[in-house]
Amino acid sequence: MTQPQPPITHGRTPIHPNHRLGYERAEHLAALTTSIRTDWTEKGTITLIEPLNAYFTATDLAAALLLLAGNPKAETPKLLHHPGPHWAHLQTHTPTNDTDKRPSPPCPIPEHAQIGKLAVNCPACRKWQDFPPTITADVYQQLTPEVQHAIDRSPTTVVLD
């Protein structure tokens, strides 16, 4: 019998295994979390992380769990499975000044947008340089010069006219 999917994963596409937290890092994250929240257990925290592992990057999971642990009103880590302020970092970026309060649009690369990455700081583009084999010219033009340069240097990605 399969367990029901946590509500926070609904509508999300599984991410590449290389970007997942993995069991060993989940153990370390659970140990850190339970050092902050001594009323939570490591085993229970790992159990809650596991079904989210396929849908969120290691960084996103760690940030959400630590934000949740830092919330004294969060009585249980089970809240990790539900939308809330601990997942807010997936929705928008932090404004750089008072005039910049708009949420960032999704990453122009459809595969990255499907997993919730934003144009302003998509780690798949900026850090991992995880690009699809082909990118249309329209998508390429929407990318920042920094990301365009990375694609230009990529031996595995071709920009289609």
Q: Taking CA 151 as the corner, what is the angle to CA 147 and CA 118, rounded to the nearest 5 degrees?
A: 40
Q: pLDDT digit string (tens) for 8-62?
A: 887 788 888 878 888 899 999 999 999 999 999 999 999 999 999 888 888 899 9
Model's pTM, two decimal places?
Answer: 0.55
CA distance 46 to 18: 19
Q: Is the dihedral of CA 144, 149, 154, 155 positive or negative?
A: positive
What integer pLDDT is reported at residue 97 of this predicted model?
A: 41
